[in-house]
Every structure is written in C-alpha cells, then in structure tokens.
Chain A
Amino acid sequence: MPWSKLKDSDNKTNAGTSPKRFPRRSRHGERIIEGIITANGLIAIVVLVGVLFLLLRTGLPVFSHTPPWEFFFGTRWYPVSEPPTFGIMPFFVSTLWVAGISTLIAIPLGVGCAAYLAEVAPAHVREAVKPIIELLAGVPSVVMGFIGLALLSPYVQSLFNLNTGLSGLTAAIMLSLMSLPIIVSVSEDALNAVPHSFREASYALGATKWETIIHVCIPGAISGIAASIMLGVGRAIGETMTVLMVAGGALAVPASPTDPMMPMTAAIASGIGNAVRGGPQYQALFAIGIVLFIMTLFVNLIADRVLERQKRKFART
C-alpha cells in the first residue's frame, strides 16, 4: 500500500514534465580552469626544456675553440690571456671537495638529529625543534655567507694555521648547515614511516633503545635517509652565493680541503659579469652550467628513485 502510494505521489510532483532526465549543462568555467591548470603543468616542462636548450645552445659552441679534453681536464682557466684557455678542472675539483666534505659533515649531524627527533625526543621537544630546523632552510644564502665570513672563517684560519680562513673547508661547513634542514626533515619522515611494530619487536627481544635505532629503525628507513642525503648533496653542489663568499676563489686545482677554492657555481657567478656576451668565455661559463645541470639532475634522479622505493617498501602494512 505505501509503496504504490509513494509512486503515485511521485508521479504527481513530476506531472507535466516528462520522465526525469539529466540534461547536459555547459560548464565553461570548469573547462577554463582545467585549461589553466594544464597550461601551468606544461609551463614547468617548457621552462625546463627551454633552460636546457639555452644552456646547450650557448654552451656547446665552446668546443669549437676548446677541445673537450682540454675543457674537462685542463687545469688552467685563463679567459683573458692570449690565447685564452678554458680548463674547468680547478672548479670541478673544488665542487667535489666542497660538496663531498659538506656531505660528510651533514650526514652524521642530519641523521643523528633526525633519529633524535623521531626516536628519542619527547613530543614537546620535537614540536619545538622541528620548526626551528626548518627555519634554517629559510635563511638566505647570502646571510649564511656572511656568517661564514664573519664568524666561522677566523676559527678555521686559527685552527688549521692558514693564511686565510676563506677555504673550501669553511664553505663546506656552511653548506653542511644549509643542507641540514632537508636531511633532517626527510630522514625524520622516513624514520616515522618505519612501522611501530618493528620497534616493539626489537624491544621485546631485549634490544636497547640505541640498538633498536641502529639495527631496526635506520635500516628500515635507509632508502629515505639515502634520498635525503642526495637532496642535501644536490643543494651543496648547486649553492652559489655562500660558496662565492667564503670558499676563497683561488683558480688553482685545490690539493687539500683547507685550500682556497672556486667551485663551479662560484666560477660562473664571478665570471659572467666580465664575459663578453656570446664570446668564448661566455660560452665556457655556460658549458660549466651544463656540467652542473647534469650533476644535479643525476643526484636528484637517484634521490627520486630511492624515495620511490622507500614508499613501496612498507606499502604492505
């Protein structure tokens, strides 16, 4: 009875109109927004391809006057002598020293800090410390350079008995501080992603907190930690201003980390102002840019891969 009645009244409300349909409405607004979002996505790709294209077009002609062998392995960079020589070995080695040492410093500090925050620190300490570390990421690099110049370099100078405190080591220390935030925050996320049940199992077997961190938590998060280190290295390789200010800017191939040096970024930044647009030096500087681009691209690609693996690792639970 109620069923038929319901049906009846239903028909009544719809009286006059034909059976219910779903008339298509035009949604111009929707389309426009979709278009804008798609365009935004494309812009990023276009810009990247454009940058690469520009780099290659401006940089590659360097090989018309300097053979690749001389460019990559030459130890002399004399852009204004006659004939000019463009060997990027000093810059390349400097970058390796600075990035390498800063990574060596940043790994134990960063991972240790992340392990402390994720495993040891009580909640209120974590809440307080994490934003502070992330704030460190926001310090402009010129300010970091200034700190290195004014505060750190005198210490480095007196500690190692150097002629100048402006050295690769000084730059590396500042860079390690700058890559710390990303290492800490990505590593901490990775540690937090390790299921709690692993820790419980470890403690229940009589492992101490330290053993649990070393043998369970860190191995469990190792790909995330590796990725964070890669991202930190990427930052250290690409950082310019700090390095320009405190690395010392010497043109010789550095033999020790305490030598003054000029990493590739600093070489580009300091050279580009004097270079004649389109001239041989200009081309050589862009070619350094290509090398840098490839280096950071590789580091970031590896980091991406490793992070992806970390995400899949614990998908089961």
Chain B
Amino acid sequence: MNADVFPTNNGSSHLNETKLRSQDVSLFYGKFQALRSISLDIPERAVTAIIGPSGCGKSSYLRLFNRMNDLIPDTRTTGHVELDGIDIYQRDVDVVDVRKRVGMVFQRPNPFPMSVFENVAFGPRRHGIRNREELSDIVERSLRQAALWDEVKDKLAHPGLALSGGQQQRLCIARVLAVEPEVILMDEPCSALDPVATLKIEDLMRTLCSEYTIIIVTHNMQQAARVSDVTAFFMMEDDRAGVLVEAGPTSGLFTNPKQKTTEDYITGRFG
C-alpha cells in the first residue's frame, strides 16, 4: 500500500540513487507498535524531510538508520533497513560500523563537557587516530565544514558548553562530520534554537547535502519546504501510530498532495 503512494525512485528523474531503504519496517516498543510496515527510499546526497504530528513515529523512524533504537530495552524491529543495499539489522553487522557511516545530530545540542577541540576529536580518537597533528587537521576541517571555525578558532580550548545554543548545535554537527559519515540524521536539530541560528543550520544543510545524505525530522513544515528535496509525511491514525501517509519530492508534496490527510496537515487543519 505504501508502495503506490511513493513515486520517488521511479517518478522523478532528478533524484539521485537510493542510499537508504526501509522495506516493510515495523518497530515495537514492548507491545506498542511505533512504526507500521514503512517502505521508503532515501535518495543519496539530498535532504529528506520527515514531517508529521508529535508521537507519529518520526524520531523512531529516524533512529532506525543508525540503530539507536537498540539502546532502548525491549524494542523489536521487523523488515529490512538497507544502507547501500546491505541490511544493517543482520546478525553479522557491527553496529559501531553502521554508526560511523550514519551520524546523528540530536534535538537539543549535546556537546560533551569537554573543550571544543576534544568534542570534535572525540569520534576520530575513538576510531584510532592518535596523532595530534592529524587530529588538529580533522578538527579544523570539520569546524570549517560546519561553518563554525571562524567563530571558535581562538576558543578551541574553551568548554563546548560555553558556546551559544546555535554554536553548540553546529559543534555537534562538526563532531559528526569529523567521523566522515555518509549519512547525517538530524532529529529536530533546530527546535531548541532561535530563528537566526536556525537559518544558519538550514544553510549548512543545503551546503552539506552536496556531499552527504541528510535526513531531517522536523515539526516545522516551512523548514521542510525550505531545506528538503524529498518529504515524507508520517501520521498516527486513531490508536495506530507510525503510518507513512505519503512521500515524494518536496515541491510536489507541498503544492499537490495526493492524500487528503497530507493536504489537511500541511494546510494546518490539524496537528
């Protein structure tokens, strides 16, 4: 059923190849079903936005792709989640490798209680880089990529938590970039930020998507419209959470939704 509302891969020619694919994925927290057989292809080097009302399973869906749901006890996933065609929920897949390739930025900026430098160097250090010079290079490159270098280059030894909220969030993005992932998951990355900081992050996303595959969960439909190439709309129905209603190129979904529910939601009739 989800397949015929989903035109991305066959319909629009300008979208890149599929990077991530979920096939008939369901997620259970104990007895509660948070996602209902979701099938969706995420195009490479593009921004995919996931929108929908609170509690519809957007974040749960996002956290499938780096297996963060594994950290919550008593969760169960069925179906297939593929990264470059390989099922990341297979038994022989090392979750550490998955998370190296699929980075994540969280809702609230959460820099470690360490210096700016150490925050960015955290990932590379964990993955075996000891050489101080090499680390410095990575830190500078990542901070530049995150458009933060000019603001913090004299404060590398300052605590990351001393930066402003928007800077902290870009620091978190730099921290992810330092690991050189292929995919960046963003879970409402601007919800704790002011409009100016939000714009900066959005600009950053547009720049980064030339190199990275980005998925962003957002409450803010304008944000989805501004930054994303593809939008997926999730919904809960009565007592059923985690339904994918419609997905497609952002311009099409916002101007000409195929489903009534989508239209109601994006015109602000509920949610």
Please indicate the chain A residues that have their CB under 8 angstroms from the CB of B100 in the complex. 205-206
B173 to chain A minimum Cβ distance, whole angstroms, is: 12
A210 vs chain B, min Cβ distance (A) = 10
Closest to B185 in A: A204
Judge if B172 is at the interface, Cβ distance under 8 Å.
yes
Q: Is the CB of A197 within 8 A of B110?
A: yes
A203 touches B175 (CB 8 A): no
A57 at the A/B interface (Cβ < 8 Å)? no
Pairs of residues from A and B, 6 with the lowest C-beta to C-beta distance, nearest first: A197-B110, A206-B100, A204-B104, A206-B99, A205-B123, A207-B126
Query: Contact at A203–B179, with CB atoms within 8 Å?
Result: no
B113 within 8 A of A: yes
- Cβ of A39 under 8 Å from chain B: no
What is the 8 Å Cβ interface bit string for chain B, positions 34-58, against chain A (1 contact, 0 not)?
0000000000000000000000000
Residues in A with CB closer than 8 Å to B176 are 204-205
Q: Given A122-B73, A205-B123, A206-B127, does the pair A219, B96 have CB atoms closer than 8 Å?
A: no
Identify which of residues 97-143 in chain B touch chain A, using a CB-to-CB cut-off of 8 Å: 97, 99-100, 103-104, 106, 108, 110-114, 122-123, 125-127
19 A–B pairs (Cβ distance < 8 Å), ordered by A: A122-B73, A197-B108, A201-B106, A201-B110, A201-B111, A201-B112, A201-B172, A201-B175, A203-B71, A204-B106, A205-B176, A206-B127, A206-B179, A207-B123, A219-B113, A219-B114, A220-B112, A313-B113, A316-B161
The smallest C-beta distance from B168 to any residue of chain A, in angstroms, reads 11
| Interface positions of A from 22 to 56, Cβ below 8 Å from B | none
- In the assembled complex, A216 has its CB within 8 A of some CB on chain B: yes
Contact partners of B112 in chain A: CB under 8 A:
198, 201-202, 216, 220
In the assembled complex, B68 has its CB within 8 A of some CB on chain A: yes
A80 to chain B, nearest CB (A): 58
| B123 / chain A contacts, CB cutoff of 8 Å | 205-207
Contacts of B179 in A (CB 8 A): 205-206
Least Cβ–Cβ distance between A194 and chain B, in angstroms:
9
Q: Is B66 an interface residue (CB 8 A)?
A: yes
A199 to B71, CA, bound (A): 10
B126 touches A200 (CB 8 A): no
| Contact flag A215-B126 (CB < 8 Å), given A204-B104, A205-B103 | yes
- Contact of A206 (CB < 8 Å), options: B106, B108, B126, B161: B126
Q: Is the CB of A195 within 8 A of B122?
A: no
The answer to whether B110 touches A195 (Cβ under 8 A) is yes
Residues of B within 8 A of A220 (CB): 112-113
Pick from A207, A219, A317 the residue with the most CB of B within 10 Å: A207
Return chain B residues, CB-CB under 8 Å to A195.
110
Residues of B within 8 A of A134 (CB): none
Least CB distance from A38 to B in Å reads 40
Residues of the B chain whose Cβ atoms lie less than 8 Å from the Cβ of A314:
113
Q: Which residue of A lies closest to B67 (CB)?
A: A203
Residues of A within 8 Å of B99, CB to CB, are: 203-206
| A105–B66 CA distance with the chains assembled, in angstroms | 39
- Interface readout for B68-83 with A: 1 if CB under 8 Å, 0 if not? 1001010000000000
Task: Say whether A200 contacts B122, CB under 8 Å.
Answer: no
Which positions 196-233 of chain A face chain B at CB distance < 8 Å?
Answer: 197-208, 211, 215-216, 219-220
The B-contacting residues of A in range 171-205, CB under 8 angstroms, are 195, 197-205
A197 neighbours in B (Cβ, 8 Å): 106, 108, 110
Chain B: CB-nearest residue to A222 = B113
Query: Which residues of the other chain, A, contact B103 by a CB distance below 8 angstroms?
Result: 204-205
| Cα distance A46–B71 in the bound complex, in angstroms | 52
Interface pair A206/B97, CB less than 8 Å apart: yes
In the bound complex, CA of A147 to CA of B115 (Å): 48
Residues A200 and B97 in contact, CB atoms below 8 Å apart: no
* Nearest CB on A from B106, distance (A): 6
Give A195 Cβ to nearest chain B Cβ, in Å.
Answer: 7
B73 neighbours in A (Cβ, 8 Å): 122-123
Contacting pair B66 A204 (CB below 8 A): yes
Output the nearest chain B residue to A317 by Cβ-Cβ distance. Answer: B108
The smallest beta-carbon distance between A64 and chain B, in angstroms, is 54
One digit per residue, 1 when the CB lies within 8 angstroms of any chain B CB and 0 when it does not, for chain A 304-316 equals 0000000001101
Interface centre among B73, B97, B99, by most chain A C-beta atoms within 10 angstroms, is: B99
CB contacts (< 8 Å) of A123 on chain B: these are 73
Q: Are A215 and B122 in contact, CB atoms less than 8 angstroms apart?
A: yes
A313 to B125, CA, bound (A): 24
A202 contacts which chain B residues (CB < 8 A)?
112, 122
Known A-B contacts A122-B73, A215-B126, A316-B161; A208 and B96 likewise in contact (beta carbons under 8 Å): yes
Residues of B near A216 (CB, < 8 A) are: 112
Chain A residue contacts of B111, Cβ below 8 A = 201
For residue B67, give the distance in angstroms from its CB to the closest CB of chain A: 9
